[in-house]
Structure 1
Amino acid sequence: MYKQWQKTDPHAIEKASTCENLESMTDAFGHDFDLPANLSNIFVEFATSDGIAVDHPRMYGAKNLPGLFYYPKLLPASVQISLLDKLLHRDLSNPEHKTNLHLHYDLSYPPPTSYGSDGSTSFFDAFTDDVEHAPKELHAPLTTTKMLNRKLRWITLGGQYDWTNKVYPSGPPPPFPADIKQLVDKTFPMEAEAAIVNLYSPGDTLSVHRDVSEECAQPLVSISIGCDAVFIVALEDEEDDCINIAEPRSASTGLRSAVLRLRSGDAVLMSGESRYAWHGVPKVIAGTCPDWLQDWPAVGSEENVQRFKAYKGWMGGKRINLNVRQMFTAGHGDNVWDETHL
């Protein structure tokens, strides 16, 4: 199933009746649930805006995959930009948040001195472009430009997952960014304690896998920003090698599946039976980043436009995915998952 979607032409994906999105909802998703009544206030507080209109405050549940919920067009433009600013300027510049590059390079971080008018520094600042990050082994030296354009693949927040040993290290993790935690905790029925920020370019994929390292079965949430992606998720009722992607459920195959075309601002929540479902991203679709987002980070104030002009258009070829997990058992905090609220 994964390989077939990986090979599917983007034009065919546009017409595929088996790929769900807001414009082509079928019987596979239903049960239009309410989101938090104060969603606008949550977004205003996060993006420090005077007012934010919530376009489509809806969520849908997958009928054949209990616990899988789809939130189309959840995050307004200002919230998406604010989230990118926090993740890729502030949090990437914090050495406590490890990346895929730390195994192979000693990263040279922007100096903790004021550069922007808000006192911030960023890897996207012009003075970092030619900085070389020293390799630990036989790797070629890495400049910041190469790092941002292709080599940087993921950033961890909060619980620093060890991707080599597939475990969370012992000991207290770095604090999860408080403002992003508040956004997640208030919007979704979970507590943000660990996250991975995935950076994709068209042609990149995420292999089929399950997230099973957390100490609890509380939900995980995935937020998409930038280019569209095909997201597949499935549960197997019984062992069977025969898979039919044309049917969301087939008694003969024992496979229950859903395929979503995730767009910028969409979110997916995996809970209940679907918390440990197999899932992956077989395709990121080029040329699908929203027009208003393509020039990030050179957007917004005139200061930002000038400060980050060397990276104007960077987001036009990127998909950023924020995947947030709760590490510990219910009761670690106040926000405990209860499906009865839906």
Structure 2
Amino acid sequence: MPGRHSGLHLFPSLLPPAAQISLLNRAFHRDASNQQHRTNLHMHYDIQYPPDPSLSFFDEASSAIRLTPKDPQIHRPLDVSVMLQKKLRWITLGGQYDWTAKVYPASPPPPFPPDIATLIDGIFPAMKAEAAILNLYSPGDTLSLHRDVSEFCDAPLASVSIGCDGIFMVGLDSDGESRSATMRLRSGDVVVMSGESRFAWHGVPKIVSGSCPSWLADWPCVSGGEERFKAWKGWMAGKRINLNVRQMYDR
């Protein structure tokens, strides 16, 4: 695969199991319940949030939550089960990227989660975590080829994989020669796109069904003590979570 000359680096199993579980807990039991962090659903739905800031959408107390369509002629109401199983595709952390205008809003963003920033900045000191997109995939989902070009700097981009394996493709052009790389990303792997590869075309054409590690498949009930999440035991068995972190501005 392309290495140091292209700036594309794969770090297999960089995040140990405990770090992966901790990252999932923070992202879904805390950050997803923060109304400042926008999702793909906000454009078309008014989202009812958990009744208490300490609760997540996975809590038993959140089972009655409903999402009301802004235009009922186009979209149907959703319950939290359909939201988490099928409809929630991404969550933005820190800088709130506008997917319609393809820009970051001029207004100040909510703070990037400091513990996640500490993790990423500690591993990759060449970048400062300021914005992230948390992508949710199920088998059958894909991510079309695209380039991440909206940031106002060329600092590296770090991509963390958790859950089911994903096939990752990236295209590189240098000296008039076109090249491509295809990688199977497993839970705990981290890809860094820097240098030549920072603005390369990339995508995810396939999620590998049944490939989630057994120790993670039962999340959010991995330790046996999370009775409040018991209705969701096994959710991660059919999911791939990708945390794509980037720096927004030059420092």
Q: TM-score, normalised by structure 2?
A: 0.96
Structure 2 residue runs without a partner (length 5+): none
- Structure holding more helix per residue: 1
Per the alignment, residue 307 of structure 1 pairs with 228
Deviation at 1:171, TM superposition (A): 1.9
Which of 85, 88, 98 lines up with 2:25 in the alignment? 85
Structure 1 residue runs without a partner (length 5+): 1-27, 30-61, 114-119, 240-253, 332-342
Per the alignment, residue 153 of structure 2 pairs with 216
Q: Deviations over 1:195-237 (max 9, x none)?
A: 0000000010000011000000000000000000100111134
Contact 1:69 1:268 in 2 (8 A): yes
Deviation at 1:193, TM superposition (A): 0.3
Q: Which amino acid aligns with 1:152?
A: L
Per the alignment, residue 293 of structure 1 pairs with 216
Deviation at 1:238, TM superposition (A): 7.6
2:85 partner SS: helix
Matches within 5 A, 1:172-183: 172-183=108-119
> Are positions 1:327 and 2:248 aligned together?
yes
Matches within 5 A, 1:159-238: 159-188=95-124, 189-237=126-174
Q: Deviations over 1:165-188 (max 9, x none)?
A: 000000211000000000000101
Per the alignment, residue 182 of structure 2 pairs with 259
Which of 106, 121, 131 lines up with 2:65 in the alignment? 131
Contact 1:130 1:145 in 2 (8 A): no
Quick check: which has more Rg, 1 or 2?
1
1:92 partner SS: helix
1:308 partner SS: helix
Deviation at 1:258, TM superposition (A): 1.1
- Structure holding more strand per residue: 2
Alignment partners' CA distance in 2, 1:214 and 1:148: 29
Alignment partners' CA distance in 1, 2:19 and 2:144: 29
2:33 partner SS: coil
Which of 233, 249, 271 lines up with 2:194 in the alignment? 271
Measured on the aligned residues, the alpha-carbon RMSD in Å equals 1.3
Deviation at 1:112, TM superposition (A): 2.3
Alignment partners' CA distance in 1, 2:167 and 2:67: 34
Q: Which amino acid aligns with 1:223?
A: V
Alignment length (residue pairs): 248
Alignment partners' CA distance in 1, 2:186 and 2:50: 32
Q: Displaced runs of 4+ in structure 1, greater than 6 A?
A: none
> Are positions 1:121 and 2:55 aligned together?
yes
Q: TM-score, normalised by structure 1?
A: 0.71
